[in-house]
């Protein structure tokens, strides 16, 4: 019932899909639609499957998926996900994933299966109930049998009645029901806010966090780079330099590469690129025509022994070298996210240390850290260096029995996310890697969701312990009354059911 109630909170599972075949529309179940099929989504309908818009433009409500109330504008070429609600125009989609592989199916499965990773409190209460129940049964038997044998004139009926009262009052259902429901409510409440928590164990871990470590690009910054300057050398014009860089970066999915191709804005000849090699954390080596070209950061130039004058700049820089000669650089700027500074301030106000790990240069890291007011930061890190740096934070935190959160994009930072006490992936909407790797998936690109996740965790733990203390206190009081004959069976029933109902109502606050 707890699982079903949390699934109902999402209210995003589509009921049917409008399949378009030879100009005719047929209502079918989403599970029967295949990749490549064409479906129609009318205004007011839920998008039944992940797909790419072929025709139409509209506003879609994404609140059920990511917790944002502002509708998103979509048009031809954009991707929409199952569970979004089409608000205005008619959309024709080409399905890109089967329903059981869609984002919403994975979200529902993730939330429903959150019980597999139980918090220590849940595990303790399960163990407690395992021993508590037989103890109470034997205690009730003792109350029914021993006093009549030891007390002259004691009535067997009276002490049997007291034993029954004790047995009813002692029933642990209030604890056994309310605590798992409290954690389910916490997981469901987080999901409504666009935060997917993979189990109550991570909610508990978030209450012990004293250090949050962020990746920079795409986490604290927008990750939408723009070319701001092109400085050429050795006879190349800025246009030639940009074209050469865009050609070499043809196959790369890195945000810097995408910004260079966007800045060039013309068709590129893929056939020109040969011997393409992407060097992790450094850049790209390739052959264009008869020229051997390097495009990358300062580390790549030093590794290849390319003489150059400029090393440190307060911006992201793509250096170019042709046949061992430095030919210039492309300056690329990234912007901080609007809520990044507020997020850092709020975390620090709660006594949480903030840090940043980035592969960017020291001057770039200096500028970002200064603007945000970070406690610590490390720059010029390769992917494997980030893991080593995180290990240092973990070592420091574990000495004080606290936890470390790492927040990244879920793909490039997968090893670091996996190593952290709690790994968070931002912008996880539609990202299989994010959902697989992270312990917590933030469905938007807003850093402020990190604060929300920690707040939900603290609220969950507070309510769970309120339920535990309330249930034990009430039961202890009425057990005493029952043992001395001052409580009857009706009082016992109301005390037991009342404790369970109050605990359940209290736990339900988490879903609001």
Catalytic center residues: 215
User: Please, how many CA atoms are within 13 Å of residue 245, restricted to the half-sphere of its CB?
Assistant: 37
Tokens of 110: 């993730």
Residue with tokens 């990511």: 66
Residue with tokens 């030093």: 302
Q: Report residue 110: phi and psi, to 5°.
A: -60, -50
* Number of helices and strands in the chain (H, E): 17, 22
Give which of 320, 314, 332 is closest to 232, Cα–Cα. Answer: 320
d(CA 357, CA 373): 14
Residue with tokens 């992270």: 438
Give which of 262, 253, 265, 194 is closest to 218, Cα–Cα. Answer: 253
Tokens of 217: 């690009």
Work out the angle at residue 254's Cα, subtended by the Cα atoms of residues 252 and 256, and round it to the nearest 5 degrees: 110
Rg (CA), the chain: 30
> Are the CB atoms for 400 and 210 separated by under 8 Å?
yes
User: Please, how many CA atoms are within 13 Å of residue 222, restricted to the half-sphere of its CB?
Assistant: 11
Q: Report residue 18: phi and psi, to 5°.
A: -95, 95
Residue with tokens 């109470």: 136
H or E segment at 74? strand 72-74
Give which of 335, 331, 345 is closest to 374, Cα–Cα. Answer: 345
């Amino acid at each position: 019932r707890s699982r079903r109630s949390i699934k109902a909170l999402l209210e995003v599972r589509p009921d049917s899909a409008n399949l378009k075949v030879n100009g005719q529309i047929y209502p079918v179940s989403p599970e029967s639609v295949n990749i490549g099929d064409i479906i129609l989504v009318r205004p007011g309908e839920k998008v039944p499957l992940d797909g790419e818009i072929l025709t139409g433009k509209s506003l879609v409500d994404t609140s059920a998926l990511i917790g944002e109330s502002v509708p998103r504008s979509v048009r031809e070429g954009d991707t929409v996900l199952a569970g979004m609600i089409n608000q205005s125009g008619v959309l024709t989609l080409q399905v890109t994933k089967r329903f059981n592989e869609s984002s919403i199916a994975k979200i529902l499965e993730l939330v429903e299966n959150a019980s597999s990773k139980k918090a220590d409190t849940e595990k303790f209460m399960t163990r407690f109930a395992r021993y508590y129940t037989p103890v109470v049964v034997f205690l009730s038997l003792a109350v029914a049998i021993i006093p009549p044998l030891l007390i002259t004139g004691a009535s067997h009926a009276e002490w049997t009645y007291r034993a029954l009262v004790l047995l009813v009052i002692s029933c642990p259902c209030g604890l056994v029901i309310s605590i798992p429901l409290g954690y389910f409510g916490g997981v469901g409440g987080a999901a409504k806010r666009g935060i997917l928590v993979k189990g109550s164990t991570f909610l508990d871990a978030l209450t012990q966090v004293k250090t949050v470590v962020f990746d920079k690009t795409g986490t604290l910054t927008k990750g939408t780079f723009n070319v701001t300057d092109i400085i050429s050398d050795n006879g190349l014009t800025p246009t030639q330099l940009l074209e050469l860089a865009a050609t070499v970066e043809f196959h790369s999915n890195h945000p810097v590469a995408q910004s260079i191709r966007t800045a060039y804005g013309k068709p590129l000849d893929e056939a020109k690129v040969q011997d393409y090699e992407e060097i992790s954390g450094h850049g790209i080596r390739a052959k264009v025509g008869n020229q051997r070209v390097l495009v990358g950061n300062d580390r790549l130039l030093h590794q290849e022994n390319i003489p150059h004058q400029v090393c440190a700049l307060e911006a992201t820089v793509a250096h170019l070298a042709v046949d061992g000669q430095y030919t210039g650089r492309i300056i690329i700027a990234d912007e901080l996210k609007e809520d990044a500074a507020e997020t850092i301030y709020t975390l620090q106000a709660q006594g949480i240390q903030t840090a940043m790990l980035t592969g960017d240069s020291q001057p770039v890291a200096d500028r970002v850290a200064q603007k945000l007011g970070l406690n610590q930061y490390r720059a010029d890190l390769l992917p494997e260096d980030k893991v080593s740096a995180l290990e240092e934070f973990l070592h420091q935190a574990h000495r004080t029995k606290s936890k470390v959160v790492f927040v990244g994009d879920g793909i490039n930072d997968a090893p670091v996310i996996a190593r952290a006490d709690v790994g968070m992936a931002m912008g996880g909407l539609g990202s299989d890697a994010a959902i697989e790797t992270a312990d917590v998936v933030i469905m938007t690109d807003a850093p402020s969701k990190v604060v929300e996740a920690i707040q939900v965790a603290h609220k969950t733990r507070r309510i769970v312990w309120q339920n535990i203390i309330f249930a034990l206190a009430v039961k202890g009081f009425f057990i005493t009354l029952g043992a001395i004959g001052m409580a009857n069976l009706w009082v016992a029933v109301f005390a037991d059911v009342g404790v369970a109902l109050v605990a359940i109502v209290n736990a339900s606050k988490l879903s609001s």
